[in-house]
Structure 1
């Protein structure tokens, strides 16, 4: 088969009439139609300007998103802390606690400044050793 047919006839209605009158059938068919060098150059120029515009918009978007991120950051931190506190039904603190050794029960208790027992454990051997300076605690000022 020939690679070209009716190329010598003027493009447009005359060429279409020639092809239509000389063919066996006319069918709809999909195919890849190549571009002319001029069309390709025009598309490349359009692509370049489109790419530049996209880059400018992306940079502007990044700047705006960074500003939003900075504004959201303190709220996100607070949200994270509140969620952890709600989940644990408690808050981790590091504060002064008061240690009491019950030698009879052989236990050690730690109390917070509100007077609540926050932790207890068995006493270590060195905590059970008495000294002559230890007095029995009564919980009153009377000695």
Structure 2
């Protein structure tokens, strides 16, 4: 029986998939999608109802004076980089990290008055080579 040399790589890739914390549906939304959803004129449903249908319950809900509400949705997505599946992965481990946060201010009737969608993506190096070297001091010896 002949084994494929790529089998361990495929197995590691399946085990090391991405992880999403928070609202996974928010990761697929962009500024244009949110804008169209919140500004659409629809007599049968409010912007609040449409947003809840798309993203579910908010992570945080704050009731303000005069019946206004602020809804907050958050999502963090971590995805490993290719070097995590090599022989030197403890040295050069890395991941991409995407953070999204949607904050919406609703009127008493459920219409969106203001909103903000923050989208931040960055690479995080977590391997041993990327950690700061700390030289022991005299205080550490005692």
What TM-score do you get using the length of structure 1 for normalisation?
A: 0.23
What TM-score do you get using the length of structure 2 for normalisation?
A: 0.23
Which protein shows a greater Rg? 1
The structure with the greater share of residues assigned to strand is 2
The structure with the greater share of residues assigned to helix is 1
